[in-house]
Amino acid sequence: MLQNPHEYPDMDYLYSEAAQSRCVIAAHAVRHCPHVVEIGGFTTPITLFLTGYHKSVTVMDPLMREYSNDHLNGQPCQVKHVPIPFQHARFSAAGEYGFVMLGASLKHFSEDPVHREQEWAILVDMISGAQVSVIEAAIDWPLGKGALDKLLEIPNIQLRTSIDLDLSANPGMDPDHYRRRLLVLEPAK
């Protein structure tokens, strides 16, 4: 299920306890969701951190290896790791899924303004349809902070929790990525 940690040495920091704490928090936030969808699980997919029962878990990242299983934590569960960008994702489980995007960034969007808005609309639909969403990004990096700021403008979504993290103990991590903010969002009541 895991990528070879030596395959992407510049991403070794993702294996640190500090970086994986983001995954633990995200797993806790989606623990009651029957379905879990993650964008960008790459080397440490949410699948590794979920402890409860889920009907399905789908992780999408163009860099990850394809993987599937019919069990998770000893329970029936359709697990899929799919090496595609989120822009190509199609799924339906409105209101019954938890959405996870750790390491959010505007860099993954097209430079063409028309395509960028279409891609942004896909992401907004995923977040708006979720029972709960967990979004995390580097707040000293303009592309990470920009993504968080833009996500907080989504109508009919409210902030449940905001947690600031300091990952400066991670060797090999870009200093602009040390300070992180993790948001837990839910539909407005």
What pLDDT shows up at residue 24? 95
Domain ranges of the chain: 9-187
Distances (CA, A) of 6 to 43, 52, 122, 132, 182: 11, 30, 33, 33, 27
Q: What are phi and psi of 143, to 5 degrees?
A: -70, -30
SS3 category, 160: strand
Which neighbouring-strand residues pair with 81?
Answer: 59, 67
Name the CATH topology of 9-187. Answer: Rossmann fold (3.40.50)
- What residue has token string 């993954």? 108
CA neighbours within 13 Å on the CB side: how many for 113? 0
d(CA 97, CA 35): 4
What pLDDT shows up at residue 110? 62
What pLDDT shows up at residue 88? 78
What pLDDT shows up at residue 69? 96
Give the model confidence (pLDDT) of 17-51 as tens digits: 778 889 999 999 999 999 999 998 888 899 999 99
What pLDDT shows up at residue 77? 96
Distances (CA, A) of 166 to 9, 71, 160, 163: 21, 34, 20, 10
CB 178 within 8 A of CB 158: no
What string of pLDDT tens digits covers the 189 residues of the chain? Answer: 555 555 666 666 676 777 888 999 999 999 999 999 999 888 889 999 999 899 999 999 888 889 999 999 999 999 999 998 887 776 666 668 999 999 877 666 667 777 778 888 888 888 999 999 999 988 998 888 888 888 888 889 999 999 999 988 776 777 888 899 999 999 988
CB 100 within 8 A of CB 26: yes
Q: β-strand 75-82 against 97-102: which pairing, if any?
A: unpaired
Question: Nearest Cα to 182, choosing from 168, 170, 164?
Answer: 164
